[in-house]
Structure 1
Amino acid sequence: MLLNDEMSNAMRIETNLPEFTLETIEAVEKELGSRFPNELREAWRHDSKFEVGEWFFYPIKDERFFNKTWDDTIRANRDERGLPEHFITVATNGSGDELGFLTSDVETIYVWWHETDELERVADSIEVFVEVTRLESDVIETFCERVNESETVFGLSAEANDGWAYAPSVIEETDVLLFFSTRERALSCRVEEWDNYHVIELPLDLFIAAWLPNMSEDGLLCGLDWPSDLKGMEYDPETVLEAIEEAE
């Protein structure tokens, strides 16, 4: 599968290093004992070092630019790092977690969470991972811009002055509290069993100082600007907090 323009734009170039030839990529694959996902092979043939969201993809070592490529793909997969067996990492979030694939299925993408030593399947392919990451970034950036401007977060509740609308998470065994960047977006979700719900306003400073930290402690997730079908992106409260602060 060729790297399409939309995917290429989502994979932000980190340096202006030259691309790699197919022969160079195949040499790295031989060293690691596994073929890379097709989309990643194609990406390396366009750019040699890039990032997607919070994930920084390892480059292929280039002796001409050693200071920019020393932390390369082969080095990232050295045995002493303690990665799961048959797992090949291709990117890191800088916090010790790794993004990669299994040698038995090079297309499916997993995250290795280093603190729990667990592998989590996150996408059927690099292409899907890039698209989902781009959508997540678009939603959270727009949400943060709006709430920073209005200094207000909106929600829904069955009671006028108590409670908060939530939905079960589809990715974890927890609940997702729904937050909206405008009153209109909150009103659009007053459908079916929620048609009599009240719109609630929450000051942004309280949302930042109390709600997000408490949600993080309780293991709850944030649903930002979900549409009326009540299906949308789910975010860790700490991620939302960081994004709001960065958007200020």
Structure 2
Amino acid sequence: MPFNLSDEQLAQTEKELDAKLPHEYREVMKIDNGGEASTDEDDWEFYPIKDTSDRKRLSRTCNHIINETESCRGFGNFPENAIAIAGNGLGDQMVFLKENGQFQNTVFLWLHETGEIQELAASFSEIEKL
């Protein structure tokens, strides 16, 4: 069963990131924090945004976007200004890039083996969640 996400929990994550997340992404995650998507490139599982409002939600969001981003940094070629929002289960990530204190609307594909970044969608609204 999908969990919603409060504005307060979103604000806490943005404070930890020291940047605002894209509006379209925020609105979708407030309704269904996590989920899946399919693109021409691959199938994706969205990482939730950390929710500390109760023990069950904290447990269900332990693989949140900040933790997953830190794991990606272990590859050594993950962009410093990126946040991982979804993975394909094989190491590649769907990411947003931060510019001027804000994560941009464009969704990128980060290839873990090469460190290459490719545009996946001009905005999050182009990614259809399943």
> One fold, TM greater than 0.5?
yes
Match of 1:45 in 2: 30
SS at the partner of 2:96?
strand
Q: 2:62 aligns with which of 62, 65, 70?
A: 70
Q: Could you state the TM-score of these two structures normalised by the residue count of structure 2? A: 0.79
SS at the partner of 2:119?
strand
How far apart are residue 61 of structure 1 and its match? 2.5
Unaligned runs of 5+ in 2: none
How far apart are residue 38 of structure 1 and its match? 1.2
Match of 1:155 in 2: none
Describe how 1:85-104 pairs up with structure 2 within 5 A.
85-104=80-99
Match of 1:187 in 2: none
How far apart are residue 18 of structure 1 and its match? 2.6
Describe how 1:39-188 pairs up with structure 2 within 5 A.
39-53=24-38, 54-63=43-52, 64-65=55-56, 66-78=58-70, 80-81=73-74, 82=76, 83-104=78-99, 106-130=104-128
How far apart are residue 126 of structure 1 and its match? 0.6
Over the residues paired in the alignment, what is the CA RMSD in angstroms? 2.0
Q: Which has the higher contact order (CA 8 A, sep 6+)?
A: 2
CA distance in 2, matches of 1:52, 1:70: 20
Identity of aligned residues (%): 34
Higher-Rg structure is: 1
**1:138-168 deviation digits (Å, cap 9, x = unpaired):** xxxxxxxxxxxxxxxxxxxxxxxxxxxxxxx
1:24 and 2:9 matched: yes
CA distance in 2, matches of 1:20, 1:38: 14
Q: Could you state the TM-score of these two structures normalised by the residue count of structure 1? A: 0.44
CA distance in 2, matches of 1:89, 1:116: 16
Bigger share in helix? 1
